[in-house]
Amino acid sequence: MADHPILSVDNLQVEFRTGREIVHAVNGATFSVAPRETAAILGESGSGKSVTAAAIMRLLQSPPAFVTGGSVRFKGQDVLSMPMAEWRRFCGRDIAMVFQDALTSLNPVFSVGWQIAELFRAHGVARGKDARDRAIELLGRVGIPDPALRARDYTHQFSGGMRQRVMIAMAIALSPDLLTADEPTTALDVTVQAQIMELLEDLRRESDMAMILITHDLGVVADVADTVWVMYAGRVVEHGPVSAVLSRPAHAYTLALLNSVPRARDKGRKLEPIAGSPPDLARIPDGCAFHPRCRFATNLCRVEAPPSVAIAPGRAAECHHAGKVFDV
Amino acid sequence: MSDDASASSSTLTKDAPPILEVRDLVKHFPIGSGFSLGRKAAVVKAVDGVSFNLAAGETLGLVGESGCGKSTVARTLLRLEEPTSGTALFRGEDIFAANPAALKNIRLRLQVIFQDPYASLNPRMNVAEIIAEPWVIHPEALPVSERAERVRSLLESVGLRREHAERYPHEFSGGQRQRIGIARAMALEPEVLICDEPVSALDVSVQAQVVNLLMEIQERLGIAYVFIAHDLSVVRHMSHRIAVMYLGRIVETGTEEDVYNNPRHPYTKALLSAEPSLDFSETRAKSSRIILQGEVPSPANPPSGCRFRNRCWKAQEICAGDTPVLDRNEGDHQVACYAPE
């Protein structure tokens, strides 16, 4: 992974201004994705993972959302300051996105074949029958049976898993170098989830694509990702290679999260939940945002934001007690 | 008792008769406009012949993917839906044949917690009113003078504070709301609690709090649970026995150890192998993962014979014939398959 990162996000800050209060959804998130790797962004609801993705893709509606700081560089270019017209040319061709809810992300009044072909037309790659044929070929590639026939169908005629395949077909149509997948399998059953994750992984490998996988599912991360970036209260609190981070975490939150998942060997034992609930992003605690729920918390954690502690090459944790956690 | 043999071979089946005995439960939903005028209306066979027992104090995990009928089983047991046919004996009394008075008496001992902690609490009632509502319906359960105090002790027993009684649902997080739902279900001190995806809407860290709470309550009060979920690891953690459902039928049932360590139905095997594993020590061999072809067929038009056969890698001619049934001679670990592992 000595390659230059294809995407690097530095100290990204996003806030939502509602009439009454300011919600700090992302508070200095920093991460990077190397070419051809799968980077997972792991977090619970309200951790800022989806807002981060939306900010990278410039999908946030402003107001209420404002990017108040930080930078996003994609292939060396500054994404956030780029004119929208220029960014639109990147979208689809160089960077694409798959959303959680395929039903609301696809257009119900156009056939799926037409919607996929629209990408080729919009980017001036192909037109007419050529665009249609390419759309059919893509539907076949993502595992939709009878693609020529199904291309004429509308989204409501597809099952959840098949819709997600249609959306993946659209995302990979122009062979992007980076695919951002926001909870791509959360709405699906386990057996279909396994199919979709395998499809994404195959496509990524075949076309040398990098992938950002946004998820709350530790199992999915362990299964498919190369690196993991753990988010809490709008910051990346720990990152590193997946097997290293998940088998021996260095941040108290990562450790607590792992301990709260039921596993076969814990049968009959009590789970170790994390006390309390995730913080209100309009009122993030001082110091380390995790301190009110943390069993390692000391006075230091209450007053001072933790520095980034290097654990190993390519691995760091923002925790005052990283050493102690690592040795648990 | 017909299954004496299985009872003695199992460490989990209690000697006492089961508290809940469900036999051949069927629930078909008619589809279409309703103006079929003599033509045969199409039906969705949501539940199509489900039988199981629940012993006092045990947890039966009901797992399966969306559309397999697990929630319909729960809803018919509570008579929120009228079953098409079948019987469900609660302490020997048929829930489905019960008249309104008898049903009210059964519901006093058979309670439920729902999946969505947002939709299942009335936003216009405060917490005290929500938790006390069961006593409005069953005034004999607790004298009025004791109710205010009992609400507060129930709140404490589910890990909330006494002063929360005056607050409204919107002031609580998802996990706290689910605790309120549990407190309401506990108000009548039921013998059986039907938990329909009680932790699915919660974050992992909060989910563990609710799982622990449910297990604590069971230990303390000996309540039996029918625990419905699609998350296999949560079901495994909670349950003594497991029933795996596919398209309206139970395809495999046994103790938690039997089903998880030694799955015999091809669907169970595929389901378990599809679940992403966190354990790196376990061989992370993806080659052993079974990726099923296709998706669950529509319950309006299931395949003939074994309903899993169009996705099964072991399907043979016989599978298209008669529907395989759970083999009652096989003891506690039963499987409905012509070619089990």
Least confident of A156-160, A235-239, B31-35, B276-280: B31-35
Residue A52: name the closest of A180, A186, A164, A218 by CA. A180
Give the pLDDT score at B19: 94
Which residues of A are less than 8 Å from B276 in CB distance? 193, 197, 217, 219-220, 222-223
Contact A219/B278, CB-based, under 8 Å?
yes
pLDDT digits (tens, 9 = 90+) for A204-230: 999 899 999 999 999 899 989 999 999
Q: State the Cα–Cα distance between residues A170 and A184, nearest whole angstrom.
A: 14
**Both tokens assigned to A62:** 């402003």
pLDDT over threshold 90, residue B15: no
Q: B33-37, B69-73, B224-228, B261-265 — which is least confidently predicted?
A: B33-37
Cα angle B150, B153, B157; round to 5: 135
Do B184 and B194 lie in a common domain?
A: no
Q: What percent of chain B has pLDDT over 90?
A: 60
- Give the per-residue pLDDT at A229: 97
> For B60-86, what is the mean pLDDT?
92
List pLDDT tens digits, range A132-161. Answer: 999 999 999 888 888 999 999 999 888 888
The single-letter DSSP state of residue B277 is P
Would you say residue B140 lies in a domain? yes
Q: Looking at this protein, which amino acid is placed at residue B143?
A: P
pTM exceeding the 0.90 threshold for the entire prediction? no
Any domain includes B267: yes
Hunting for tokens 């449910």 — which residue is that? Answer: B214
What residues of B are in contact with residue A275 (Cβ under 8 Å)? Answer: 209
Output A98 or B297, whichever has higher pLDDT: A98
Region of B185 (left: φ > 0; alpha: ψ -120 to 50; beta: rest) is alpha
CA distance B204 to B14: 33
- With an 8 Å Cβ cutoff, are B66 and A189 in contact? yes
Distance (Å, whole) CA A67 – CA B96:
59
- A2 at the B interface (CB within 8 A)? no
If asked whether residues B104 and B220 sit together in one domain, one would say: yes
CATH number for the domain harbouring residue B309: 3.40.50.300
Q: Which of the residue ranges B22-31, B152-161, B257-266, B321-330 would you say has the lowest mean pLDDT? A: B321-330
CA dihedral B8, B13, B18, B22 (to 10 degrees): -100
Task: Tally the domains of chain B.
Answer: 2
A289: which chain B residues are within 8 Å (Cβ-Cβ)?
Answer: none
**Which of B233, B279, B296 is facing A262, going by the closest CB pair?**
B233
For residues B94 and B151, state if they share a domain. no
State the nearest Cα–Cα gap between A253 and chain B, in angstroms. Answer: 10
Pick B211's closest partner by Cβ from A45, A262, A274.
A262
pLDDT tens sequence across A89-134: 889 899 999 988 888 889 999 999 999 999 999 998 888 999 999 9
Domain ranges of chain A: 7-94+177-326, 105-175
CATH 3.40.1280.10 matches A7-94+177-326: no
For residue B46, give both structure tokens. Answer: 């949501």
Do B280 and A189 count as a contact with CB atoms less than 8 A apart?
Answer: no
pLDDT in the model for residue B98: 93
> Taking CA atoms, what residue in A is nearest to B275?
A190
- Of A222-236, A275-289, B241-255, the least confident: A275-289
Question: Where do the H-state alpha helices sit in chain A?
Answer: 49-56, 84-90, 102-105, 112-122, 128-141, 147-150, 160-172, 190-206, 218-224, 242-247, 252-259, 299-303, 322-326
* pLDDT value of residue A189: 83
Q: Are A136 and A148 in contact (CB under 8 A)?
A: yes
d(C-alpha A40, C-alpha A251), whole Å: 17
What pLDDT, on a 0 to 100 scale, did the predictor assign at position B6? 40
Q: Say which residues have a Cβ less than 8 Å from residue B17's Cβ, sequence separation at least 6.
A: B1, B92
pLDDT of residue A279: 87
Q: The domain containing residue B288 runs over which residues?
A: 4-31+40-109+190-335
* Beta-ladder partners of B335: B252
Measure CA of the first residue to CA of the last residue in chain B; give whole Å.
29
Write down the pLDDT at residue B11. 42
Closest residue of chain B to A46, computed from CA coordinates: B203
- How far apart CA B19 and CA B110 sit, in angstroms, is 11
Name every residue in B having a CB less than 8 A away from some CB of A: 65-66, 173, 175-176, 203-209, 211-212, 215, 230, 232-234, 236-237, 256, 260, 270-271, 273-280, 284, 286, 289, 291-292, 295-296
Alpha helices in A60-150 (DSSP H): 84-90, 102-105, 112-122, 128-141, 147-150
Q: Which of B234, B289, B296 sits opposite A262 (nearest CB)?
A: B234
Q: Which of A49, A162, A189 to mutate to test the interface with B (most CBs of B within 10 A)?
A: A189
Supply A100's token pair.
């959680």
State the Cα–Cα distance between residues A156 and A158, nearest whole angstrom.
5
Q: In this predicted structure, what is the pLDDT of residue B37?
A: 58
The predicted model gives A48-75 an average pLDDT of 92
- The order of strands in the sheet holding A308-312 is A95-98, A178-182, A210-215, A38-42, A227-232, A235-241, A315-318, A308-312
Among the candidates B140, B168, B189, a domain finishes at: B189
The verdict on a CB contact (< 8 Å) between A273 and B260 is: no
Per-chain mean pLDDT for chain B: 87
* Per-residue pLDDT at B9 exceeds 80: no
Percent of chain A with pLDDT over 90: 69
**What average pLDDT does the structure give for chain A?**
91
